[in-house]
């Protein structure tokens, strides 16, 4: 089983979008039983809150439900429980590394690395208001991530 944890600042926009987009892609590929996919925050600001309404609406436009998801914070235990911890931007990765005390097994990556866009982060729609661009970037990253695991392009 492949275990993936997506991480962003508050776990109400980008990382839950990635969690549920990836789950949808995996399900449609018939690989649901081979993946455990979740998301978390680096901050405590939104703990217990549901997915931000505009992010929830954007997912729903594409037939993807995120019902029941509430924000949770990354813990040190997550490092041993996941194969990959995927941040949405460099600040997320820096904060993840701080919380975890480093990355000795090189599990930390940016999502867009898997879309062939190394070094690029996904803009936070909380600030930009552009949930469509965020959705497209997350989808590209998740498609690349699925291809990484399946060996397809």
Within 13 Å and on the Cβ side, how many CA atoms surround 4? 25
- Give the pLDDT confidence score for residue 45 in this predicted structure: 95
Give 16-56 as a DSSP string: HHHHHHHHHHHHHTT-GGGEEEEEEESSSTTTTPBPPHHHH
Q: Which residues of the chain have pLDDT under 70?
A: 153
Q: What is the CATH number of the domain that holds 139?
A: 3.40.50.2300
Range(s) of the domain holding residue 91? 2-150
> Exposed, middle or buried: residue 123 (CB in 10 Å: 0-12, 13-18, 19+)?
middle
Domains of the chain: total: 1
Backbone angles phi, psi at 50, to 5 degrees: -75, 175
Q: What is the pLDDT of residues 83-95, one digit of tens each?
A: 999 999 999 999 9
Tell me what pLDDT residue 152 has. Answer: 75
> Using one digit for the tens of pLDDT, what is the confidence trace for 90-113?
999 999 999 999 999 999 999 999
Tell me what pLDDT residue 151 has. 82
Indicate which residues carry an active-site annotation.
Answer: 8, 14, 124
């Amino acid at each position: 089983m492949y275990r993936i944890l997506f991480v962003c600042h508050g776990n109400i926009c980008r990382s839950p979008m990635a969690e549920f987009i990836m789950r949808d892609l995996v399900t449609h590929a018939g690989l649901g039983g081979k993946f455990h996919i979740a998301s978390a925050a680096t901050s405590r600001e939104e703990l217990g809150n549901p997915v931000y309404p505009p992010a929830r609406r954007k997912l729903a436009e594409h037939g993807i439900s995120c019902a029941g998801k509430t924000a949770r914070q990354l813990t040190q235990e997550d490092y041993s429980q996941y194969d990959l911890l995927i941040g949405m931007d460099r600040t997320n990765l820096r904060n993840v590394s701080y919380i975890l005390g480093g990355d000795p097994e090189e599990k930390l990556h940016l999502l867009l690395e898997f879309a062939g866009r190394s070094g690029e982060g996904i803009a936070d729609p909380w600030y930009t208001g552009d949930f469509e661009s965020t959705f497209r970037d997350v989808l590209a990253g998740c498609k690349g991530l699925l291809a990484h695991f399946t060996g397809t392009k």
